[in-house]
């Protein structure tokens, strides 16, 4: 339960749902038991957190642990947020008599390798997912088409609290001063786990080239992950320690958006990233890799660029005017209040 897109979606919903009618419990892998960003809040809201073996390490042990959990506890609904392998959860849920089993796609790829054995396993688990789910949800058309492959699904917007992201020049000045940035610095922002999917290595290379045209450019990378040391090494080798800031996990995301001029993501794949919505709600210009769902574009100033393009093309897009953006009716439909109403219908709570 770190601050990723799917986790933030669940928490935004959980905070606002009538918990006298619906209560959430969370099942996580042991590999991530130490990622506790939301654990205290979940407990205060009445939720429980159950930890099981990561199926990548021992799928048989995982099977028996989940089966035992479902036998010992009572659940009315299983809402599966895992892209790869979610069919196992739904199969075990059906065997325990759970009549509503939701498959929810948040991405356009599972990010796994494509060797013979993995493709065989992928095919079987996908068959399980389609067979065992009673409800099919996706954050975008691309995410739904990727996972459900022709099966009917409903698009549920990744709701955010739009009121948190209003433009405020005083907040911008204060946050820049706190980070050691000058009022005139050109600040590029990126928010995401420090993992291969998010491709921050490529973004740092882009900024290294960008500095030849814009010496006052700064890059803020917000997030934590297994590539922390690797990115630190890259920053040192490129002599970018004064230009690239690894800020780690933060609790001041709306304020950090205010400090930025441009929001940039070079992800290898995405469904519909919540941070992209938050950036647009903050009226920021966005430059995104074309591997990110085009449904992310809900405001005028969003540019998509192929990862195969030259870095100079990225630099030009990042620097081009205007830097501001505007709120649209399409973006307003992603407010969490709208998402809550959609999910209440899915959960059949009226």
Q: What angle do CA 156, 159, 164 make, to 5 degrees?
A: 170
Written as six digits, the tokens of 78 are: 């299983």
Residue 179, classed as helix, strand or coil, is helix
28: how many CB neighbours lie within 10 A of its CB? 17
319: how many CB neighbours lie within 10 A of its CB? 17
Note if the pTM is more than 0.85. no
Give me the pLDDT at residue 84, please.
Answer: 67
d(CA 75, CA 24): 10
Task: Calculate mean pLDDT across residues 156-176.
Answer: 91
First vs last C-alpha separation in the chain: 28
Give me the pLDDT at residue 96, please.
Answer: 96
Give me the pLDDT at residue 61, please.
Answer: 96
Strand intervals (E) in the chain: 26-29, 49-52, 77-80, 100-105, 135-138, 154-155, 186-191, 217-222, 244-248, 262-265, 285-289, 302-305
Cross-strand pairs, 80: 103
Q: Which of 334, 289, 324, 280 is nearest to 307 (CA)?
A: 289
Taking only the tens place, the pLDDT of each residue in 79-108 is 998 776 789 999 999 999 999 999 998 877
- Mode of pairing for the β-strands spanning 186-191 and 217-222: parallel
316: how many CB neighbours lie within 10 A of its CB? 15
Phi, psi of 135 (to 5 degrees): -135, 140
- Of 142 and 287, the structure prediction assigns the larger pLDDT to 287
Q: How confident is the model at residue 29 (pLDDT cuts 50, 70, 90)?
A: very high
Q: How confident is the model at residue 2 (pLDDT cuts 50, 70, 90)?
A: confident
Structural domains of the chain, with CATH: 5-159+335-346 (3.40.50.2000), 162-332 (3.40.50.2000)
**51 close to 25: Cβ distance less than 8 angstroms:** no
d(CA 254, CA 262): 14
Q: Which of 52, 42, 281 is nearest to 157 (CA)?
A: 281
d(CA 268, CA 234): 19
In the predicted structure, residue 112 carries a pLDDT above the cut 80: no
From 122-126, 248-252, 320-324, 345-349, the region with the lowest mean pLDDT: 122-126
The average confidence (pLDDT) of the chain is 92
- Name the range with the highest mean pLDDT among 109-118, 159-168, 283-292: 283-292
Q: How confident is the model at residue 12 (pLDDT cuts 50, 70, 90)?
A: confident
Residue 76, classed as helix, strand or coil, is coil
Task: Calculate mean pLDDT across residues 212-226.
Answer: 96
CA 248 distance to own-chain centroid: 16
d(CA 77, CA 99): 7
- Of 4 and 201, the structure prediction assigns the larger pLDDT to 201
Task: Calculate mean pLDDT across residues 252-271.
Answer: 95
């Amino acid at each position: 339960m770190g601050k990723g897109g799917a986790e933030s979606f669940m928490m935004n919903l959980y905070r606002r749902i009538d918990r006298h009618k619906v209560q959430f419990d969370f099942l996580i892998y042991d590999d991530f038991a130490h990622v506790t960003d939301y654990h205290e809040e979940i407990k205060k809201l009445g939720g429980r957190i159950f930890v099981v073996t990561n199926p990548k390490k021992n799928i048989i042990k995982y099977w028996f642990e989940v089966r035992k959990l479902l036998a010992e506890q009572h659940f009315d609904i299983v809402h599966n947020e895992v892209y790869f392998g979610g069919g196992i959860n739904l199969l075990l849920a059906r065997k325990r008599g759970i009549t509503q089993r939701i498959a929810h796609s948040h991405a356009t790829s599972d990010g796994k390798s494509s060797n013979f054995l993995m493709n065989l396993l992928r095919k079987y688990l996908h068959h399980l997912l389609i067979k065992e789910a009673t409800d099919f949800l996706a954050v975008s058309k691309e995410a739904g088409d990727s996972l459900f492959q022709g099966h009917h699904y409903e698009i549920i917007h990744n709701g955010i609290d739009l009121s948190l992201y209003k433009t405020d020049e005083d907040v911008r000045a204060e946050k820049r001063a706190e980070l050691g940035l000058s009022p005139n610095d050109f600040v590029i922002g990126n928010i995401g786990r420090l993992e291969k999917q998010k491709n921050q290595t490529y973004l740092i290379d882009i900024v290294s080239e960008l500095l030849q045209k814009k010496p006052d450019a700064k890059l803020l990378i917000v997030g934590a992950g297994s590539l922390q040391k690797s990115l630190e090494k890259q920053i040192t080798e490129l002599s970018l320690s004064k230009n690239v800031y690894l800020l780690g996990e933060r609790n001041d995301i709306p304020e950090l958006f205010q400090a930025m001029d441009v929001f940039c993501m070079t992800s290898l794949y995405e469904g519909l990233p919540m941070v992209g919505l938050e950036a647009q709600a903050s009226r920021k210009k966005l430059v995104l890799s074309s591997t990110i769902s085009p449904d992310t574009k809900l405001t005028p100033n969003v540019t998509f660029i192929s990862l195969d393009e030259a870095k100079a093309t990225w630099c030009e897009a990042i620097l081009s005017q205007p830097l501001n953006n505007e709120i649209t009716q399409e973006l307003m439909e992603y407010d969490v209040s709208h998402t809550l109403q959609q999910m209440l219908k899915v959960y059949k709570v009226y």
